[in-house]
Structure 1
Amino acid sequence: MVESDQPFAVVVSDFKMPFMSGVELLAKIKEIAPETVRMVLTGYADLEVAISAVNRGDIFRFLTKPCDKDTLMSALKAGVEQYEMVQSVHELAVIQRLKDGLESTLRAFIRLVEFRDPYTAGHMDRTAEIATLIAEKVGLSSDRIEGLRLAAMVHDIGKIAIPSGILNKPGILNDAEFALIKTHSLVGSEIFELMDTGWPIARIILEHHERLDGTGYPNGLCKEDILEESQILAVADVIDAIMTHRPYRLTLGRKKTIEDLEAQKGISLNAESVEAGIELLQTEQIFKDVT
């Protein structure tokens, strides 16, 4: 039955039986289904054999007859919990491998962008770091922070659809060029919308240029319509944009960045995230080498 119908969470065997003992039976079950929890129930108080079996890891519990209902039920419950714990560990390992694979995939996308526009790739890496630090300060859960970090790593991936001449234009963009630039968040979200990661990566990418007062793009969303992770990424994106050299200007510096953040705090950008970002700048946890 174990060979053909597994998995069984728990197997309880008598000790003395025809053909083989309970310990021998459970040892064979261990070979066939190592995750099945194994217990011996016996009226033969052969403690040396029982202790040896427990110490070898062949047996989870040793129950003696007569075994009352409560004791048996308690042992069975513990056995099922042990089995479920082992399954959870395996599931976490699988999830971790999937996450590692996802990050490798995202890194491949970054490399693709880097070939066309080295600035954009570096910008996404820096913004992911800033967004993660802000998210930690505002108290997001570790799982949501991880989703935000991964989304931030590729938030400008849609720029692969923008001509490099526009991305690297040294002067001010005209209306048509800026309209084309504004499509990158939509393109980026479409790349990831069919990827089932458990995190709203596509939505974060789509919304990272939305603003609380409705002045953002592509959909002009307001306040609570914008995901909190998207609001955090928006602040991180602004910080990196002002603090770094752009094709059309040099960095504006720490003071100007803080002034601009203060001006937008609670109006177009999330106030709590802005305060966290300003603290990161003032304490030089980010951009230590930029004044």
Structure 2
Amino acid sequence: MAWREAFRNVPVLMVDDEPKVLDAHRRTLRAHFDLHTAQGGTSALEVMEAQGPFTVVVSDFKMPDLDGITLLAEVADRHPDTVRMILTGYADMDTAIRAVNTGAIFRFLTKPSDPDDLVMAISAGIEHAEMARAAKELEIVRRLKDGFEQTLRAFTRLVEFRDPYTSGHMDRTADIAVMIAERMGMAEDDIAGLRLGAMVHDIGKVAVPSHILNKQGELTDAEFSIIKAHAEVGAEIFKGLGVEWPIARMIREHHERLDGSGYPEGLSGDELLLQSKILCVSDIIDAIITHRPYRHGLGKSEAVGYLLEGRGRLFDAQVVDIALALMDEGRIREPGD
């Protein structure tokens, strides 16, 4: 069976005060696990100190120096992730209840125990330990991601403080991007990365002088060149971030176009991330339908016309079609709707 190979290097400690019982454990279990033995509870604590921690500890109940429940309670205190089991011939209900309450016992096994049943019980304990460890790792990752998101939100507030006219723009763009990605069937984790990238896609505007960001009226060519640099500046901020999502690329590419007419690098077609293509369309929709420093929002009809004109040439056709459907359904709304 697969678990015979998978668990061969997993450390397991068997504890009993009878040498013959430990000999029997070694004969039947060493082929399946990285087996260690200890004669009595006190010896078990010494073995754990020198060779532990162990994934599973299975202890006899009635031992002269330190009974199994007291031993496993100590194991729980020292190594809470270790799976603990009792193996005993004294199987009364009071003993079982005490074992569970005091030692947080995973299994209560009775003697004599069939070798195959013992192997299966220990294997179940190992699987339980691995699932518990995986759950902890997922929780750590979730907390890191939550903390990372809060950091990104702080960045967005910084940009919006300098550029009040784009207040909420990055969050709204993220909402639109997520709706499009979900409709496309994008993987959940990729959607999470897209949302975070969209939340900070204009972060490079921190390097643009406030008088240009907030200028009333049309920008000069020189001023527009400064504005255009925000994609590269933003990408540099997040370059080498060490996260699993290509956030820097999304920031750098959100003003690129399918035909290579965008900026900053003039990328085209398959050179662009799908996330960047989604972010591009989402950014354009919100920019058109909401107020800007130099004009009022132009409304959804203007956004629809602009996207249709560039469909398949400037913008990904599938992304445009989904965005148009979302607008038609009322999922993407104009300010005040």
Common fold, TM-score beyond 0.5?
yes
Letter in 1 for 2:246: P
Residues 24 and 152 of structure 1: is their aligned pair in 2 closer, same or farther, counting only changes over 3 Å?
same
Give the corresponding residue for 1:231.
277
CA RMSD of aligned residues (A): 2.0
Give the corresponding residue for 1:12.
58
Q: Which one has the largest radius of gyration?
A: 2
Give the corresponding residue for 1:280.
326
Could you tell me how far 1:184 is from its partner in structure 2? 0.6
> How many residue pairs are counted as aligned between the two chains?
291
Could you tell me how far 1:227 is from its partner in structure 2? 1.1
Give the corresponding residue for 2:32.
none
Give the corresponding residue for 2:111.
65
State the distance in 1 between where 2:335 and 2:213 align: 26
State whether structure 2 residue 305 is matched by structure 1 residue 259: yes
Equivalences for residues 187-206 of structure 1 within 5 A: 187-206=233-252
Normalising by structure 2, we get a TM-score of: 0.80
State whether structure 2 residue 226 is matched by structure 1 residue 177: no
Equivalences for residues 13-52 of structure 1 within 5 A: 13-52=59-98
Could you tell me how far 1:66 is from its partner in structure 2? 3.2
Matched residue SS, 2:108: strand
Could you tell me how far 1:52 is from its partner in structure 2? 4.1
Give the corresponding residue for 1:163.
209
Residues 6 and 105 of structure 1: is their aligned pair in 2 closer, same or farther, counting only changes over 3 Å?
farther
Which piece of structure 1 moves more, 216-225 or 144-153? Answer: 216-225
Letter in 1 for 2:257: R
5+ long unaligned stretches in structure 1: none
Residues 57 and 285 of structure 1: is their aligned pair in 2 closer, same or farther, counting only changes over 3 Å?
farther
Give the corresponding residue for 2:196.
150
Could you tell me how far 1:60 is from its partner in structure 2? 0.7
Could you tell me how far 1:177 is from its partner in structure 2? 2.1
- Select the residue among 157, 176, 199 that pairs with 1:130: 176
Letter in 2 for 1:80: I
Higher RCO (CA 8 Å, separation ≥ 6 residues) = 1
Give the corresponding residue for 2:163.
117
- Aligned 8 A contact 1:2 1:32 in 2: no
5+ long unaligned stretches in structure 2: 1-46
Give the corresponding residue for 1:217.
263
Which piece of structure 1 moves more, 44-53 or 148-157? Answer: 44-53
Identity %: 56
Could you tell me how far 1:15 is from its partner in structure 2? 2.1
State whether structure 2 residue 152 is matched by structure 1 residue 106: yes
Letter in 2 for 1:31: D
Residues 238 and 4 of structure 1: is their aligned pair in 2 closer, same or farther, counting only changes over 3 Å?
farther
Kindly provide the CA deviation profile for residues 54-101 of structure 1, in whole angstroms up to 9, marking residues without a partner as x: 366621112233333322221122111111121122222222221221
State the distance in 1 between where 2:78 and 2:241 align: 36
- Select the residue among 26, 33, 48 that pairs with 1:2: 48
